[in-house]
Amino acid sequence: MTPRVTIKTVAQAAGVSPSTVSNAYNKPDQLSAAVRERVLAKAQELGYAGPDASARALRSGKAGAVGVLFTDKLSYAFSDPYAVGFLAGLAEVAEEFTTSLLLMPISSVDIESGTNAVRQAAIDTAAIFCVDHGHPALEMLKNRGIPMVSTQRGHDLADGWVAIDELDSAAAMGEHLARLGHRDVVVLVDNHQATSSQPIELDFDQIGCDDCELRIAGLRKTMPDARFRVVSGGHNAFGSGLAAAGWVLDSQDRPTAIAGLSDVQALGAMEAMKTRGLVPGRDLTVTGFDDIPAAETAGLTTIRQPIKDKGRAVGRLLLDPNETERHLTMPTELVVRASSGPAPRN
Amino acid sequence: MTPRVTIKTVAQAAGVSPSTVSNAYNKPDQLSAAVRERVLAKAQELGYAGPDASARALRSGKAGAVGVLFTDKLSYAFSDPYAVGFLAGLAEVAEEFTTSLLLMPISSVDIESGTNAVRQAAIDTAAIFCVDHGHPALEMLKNRGIPMVSTQRGHDLADGWVAIDELDSAAAMGEHLARLGHRDVVVLVDNHQATSSQPIELDFDQIGCDDCELRIAGLRKTMPDARFRVVSGGHNAFGSGLAAAGWVLDSQDRPTAIAGLSDVQALGAMEAMKTRGLVPGRDLTVTGFDDIPAAETAGLTTIRQPIKDKGRAVGRLLLDPNETERHLTMPTELVVRASSGPAPRN
DNA sequence: TCGTTTTTCTAGAACGATTTAGTAGAACGA
DNA sequence: TCGTTCTACTAAATCGTTCTAGAAAAACGA
């Protein structure tokens, strides 16, 4: 293997100091155009690809990347258009600041490996996307002194958040359901701890997902007289909603409404109804959360939140030094469609 | 600001050498359990978060990240479930090797900034996702000595590829269309160079997208007598398909079939038909490419390709040293649904 | 008991850049 | 002409690790 071409090599070949070569790349106004051209030409000739990223990162203390932390496996995360929308917004801002995105899935099950990944990641700042309060990876980041912006309000370790009012939003949905006369609700939640996709009923203190808890609390607030059950079919995905709702529908004790805490789960629930010949909104009410594009097509009643804007705002808080606001609450809106209807009278 | 806690600090506090501290983290079997425990305890006490990522990357020559290159802006990329599926597959393998994904959009318009981003990225290997042949960023990577695996066959700079037979796949679609009697086709393509979303008709040598050219060649192969026109509504997205197809439908000279070179564009075309009261498959045939989930719901005739598997395979080629195969061709399949039907007789 | 191997730890040199402080010479104003 | 400011460049220190080579101590075999 031939010895690697470094700044030093180029400097010698071009008859200048290493500093000058560095400046040729990073601070063009610090040297004469003639020398700069000569240096760059020599570099090209030697096959030098420019300053090494790691070395630069070490010396300058800037990695040029934003870490993005997901609770779920990436493969799950990508299956939810909500996550994808968020990422798209974040990416938009990152591009503007010529910064890359470093995706880091941190499992709730194999905590150690995720924490390790976070420890080793070369990042300047981090976006915390739906990661539960108390995950060690957050403390790790705090320890590393990496500024974090979260999509949840609760994170005291984070330096800022961009969130919706989970409780109020869910309360709006609860009001809608209450008005329709529903008093028996099954809530579909994402269970990060799940190892199988076997649907299970959870106790309220077993949920272990901050946002889910808040949303349930919101529903209860405006539906004080209703009976609530919490069911999970595993991770946040269409298939989980399908499985969980199927299990509920096949049971002896059907509710009058199924409230998915995400659209993908709710869409799965609608599918479960259809395969059983049931019509959402007539035979049973299904509601979602997020308002992803497919929700409109499917006629799903849901809570709209500005997904992409959320991503953009997180990006600004992380990258734009002029951004002084540290806490943003995004607006939400109840979108009523065909999947919700009056509860049967008995 | 208090001076930063480094390996040296911890070493002194624990009464060992820096090397030992390093080993405590990276090579647990190189030191006694007792010392290791003492070191880690001391580290925790001092608030040391573990070896710095950049320094480690510099010294060891491993960044622990795979670069992912997209031609489009990330925000576009994420809007196509095809890209998302690919990413999910890749992420799955990356997780297995505890490696992160560094997302790098490289525009076809602002070439320089993308190339710069690639130059500065701290990555070990790179996945090249639908990047056109000849993009300077590829040469940059080659220069940096970074192994690349592409999703296209053509890239001679890449060290491997995982692709489908674009030409044959498209030929199968052409056969289907020919059998239905179509002889007048408008092809919807992604135009990376686009700056506006104004639909335009392109000459064949203007396309500048390798895969698109191959697919068109495939269609022509099995439809030798047909008339072909190429239209683009901009980047690869639902909206572009909608705009481009709308423009075609409103023109004096309607084709009998619109062949989208991606499902998202084709779905946009179907939408354009619907808003004009036309029924896909009856009034005009629409076909896609990829078979994303929404294609099934919409009843779109398309070419299925194993998206996620493609991502997985790319990941293996990049990360798994046991993987000896350097070139993989994935299978494709024509999926006929309601959006294609016989051409009208006149 | 003595030489050999194994275990456990360390010193010091990289890794490849950027930064700081500073020098020589050109340009400038009066 | 002289002092001052600019411009263009450089020497040397430094960023925080990991790696190589080797030393000291412990364990082992005969």
- Would you list the DSSP string of A153-204? S--TTSSEEEEE-HHHHHHHHHHHHHHTT--EEEEEE--TT-SS---EEE-G
pLDDT at A71: 75
Distance from residue A15's CA to nucleotide D10's C1', rounded to whole Å:
12
In this structure, which amino acid lies at residue A338?
Answer: A
Cα nearest neighbour of A61 on chain B: B54
CB neighbours of residue A109 within 10 Å: 11
pLDDT of residue A72 exceeding 90 = no
Per-residue pLDDT tens digits for A281-308: 999 999 999 999 889 989 999 999 999 9
Between A294 and A107, residue with greater pLDDT: A294
Q: Tell how far CA B219 is from the center of its chain.
A: 23
Q: What is the mean pLDDT of chain A?
A: 91
* Residues of B with Cβ-Cβ distance to A74 under 8 angstroms: 87-88, 91-92, 94-95, 101
Alpha helices in chain B (DSSP H): 7-14, 18-26, 33-46, 53-60, 74-77, 81-96, 111-120, 136-144, 166-179, 210-222, 238-249, 263-275, 293-298, 307-319
Per-residue pLDDT tens digits for A5-64: 999 999 999 999 999 999 999 999 999 999 999 999 999 999 999 999 999 999 999 999
pLDDT at B74: 61
Model confidence at B72, pLDDT cuts 50, 70, 90, reads low
- C-beta separation of A300 from A270 below 8 A: yes
pLDDT at A75: 60
The first and second tokens of residue A7, run together, are: 């700044």
Q: Percent of chain A at pLDDT above 90?
A: 68
Total-model pTM? 0.83
pLDDT at B128: 93
Model confidence at A2, pLDDT cuts 50, 70, 90, reads low
pLDDT at B184: 98
Per-residue pLDDT tens digits for A143-175: 888 999 999 987 778 999 999 999 999 999 999
Model confidence at A250, pLDDT cuts 50, 70, 90, reads very high
pLDDT at B75: 60
Residue given tokens 């705002």 in the structure block: A313
- Provide the 3-class DSSP secondary structure of residue A258: strand
Closest CB from A63, A88, A140 relative to B54: A63
Model confidence at B124, pLDDT cuts 50, 70, 90, reads very high
* Residues of A with Cβ-Cβ distance to B102 under 8 angstroms: 65, 100-103
pLDDT of residue A249 exceeding 90 = yes
For the ranges A135-139, A296-300, A342-346, the maximum mean pLDDT occurs at: A296-300
Distance from CA of B96 to the nearest CA of A (A): 10
Distance in Å from the first CA to the final CA of chain A: 81
Distance in Å from the first CA to the final CA of chain B: 81
The first and second tokens of residue A326, run together, are: 């540290």
pLDDT at B131: 84
- C-beta separation of A131 from A114 below 8 A: no
Backbone angles phi, psi at A149, to 5 degrees: -125, 130
Lowest mean pLDDT, pick from B18-32, B65-79, B205-219, B323-337: B65-79
- C-beta separation of B301 from B176 below 8 A: yes
| DSSP code per residue over B129-186 | ES--TT-HHHHHHHHHT--EEESSS--SSSSEEEEE-HHHHHHHHHHHHHHTT--EEE
Instruction: Give the side-chain half-sphere CA count within 13 A for B311.
Output: 24
Q: Which helix (H) or strand (E) holds A263?
A: helix A263-275
Distance from CA of B218 to the nearest CA of A (A): 31
* A332 CB inside 7 Å of strand C: no
Measured CA to CA, the distance from residue A338 to residue B113 in angstroms comes to 47
Model confidence at A203, pLDDT cuts 50, 70, 90, reads very high
Average pLDDT over every residue of B146-173 = 93
Is residue B119 within 8 angstroms of chain A, CB to CB?
yes
pLDDT of residue B282 exceeding 60 = yes
pLDDT of residue A1 exceeding 60 = no
Best of B48, B102, B139, B144 to disrupt the A interface (most A CBs within 10 Å) is: B102
Per-residue pLDDT tens digits for B231-262: 999 888 888 999 999 999 999 999 999 999 99
Please judge whether B92 and A74 are an interchain contact, meaning their C-beta atoms are less than 8 angstroms apart. Answer: yes
pLDDT of residue B226 exceeding 60 = yes
Distance from residue A38's CA to nucleotide C28's C1', rounded to whole Å:
29
pLDDT at B213: 94
List, in sequence order, every residue forming a beta bridge with B326; answer none if it has no partner: none
- Provide the 3-class DSSP secondary structure of residue A68: strand
pLDDT at A213: 94
Best of A22, A102, A267 to disrupt the B interface (most B CBs within 10 Å) is: A102
Measured CA to CA, the distance from residue B120 to residue A99 in angstroms comes to 10
Per-residue b or e along A278-296, where b marks 16 or more CB atoms closer than 10 Å to that residue's CB: bebbeebbbbbbbbbebbe
pLDDT at B110: 77
Average pLDDT over every residue of B77-83 = 79
- Torsion region of A13: left, alpha or beta (phi above 0 gives left; psi -120 to 50 gives alpha): alpha
Lowest mean pLDDT, pick from B77-81, B161-165, B181-185: B77-81
- Torsion region of A27: left, alpha or beta (phi above 0 gives left; psi -120 to 50 gives alpha): beta
Average pLDDT over every residue of B115-121 = 85
Q: Percent of chain B at pLDDT above 90?
A: 67
A160-164 and A125-129: which strand pairing? unpaired
Q: What are the residues with a C-beta under 7 Å from any atom of nucleic chain D?
A: A 15-20, 23, 30-32, 34-35, 55, 58-59, 61; B 4, 6-8, 18-19, 22, 25-26, 48, 50-52, 55-56, 58-60
Measured CA to CA, the distance from residue A336 to residue B106 in angstroms comes to 40
B148-150 and B327-330: which strand pairing? unpaired
Is residue A49 within 8 angstroms of chain B, CB to CB?
yes
Per-residue b or e along A129-158, where b marks 16 or more CB atoms closer than 10 Å to that residue's CB: bbbbeebebbebbbbbebebbbbbbbbebb
Distance from residue B17's CA to nucleotide D23's C1', rounded to whole Å:
14
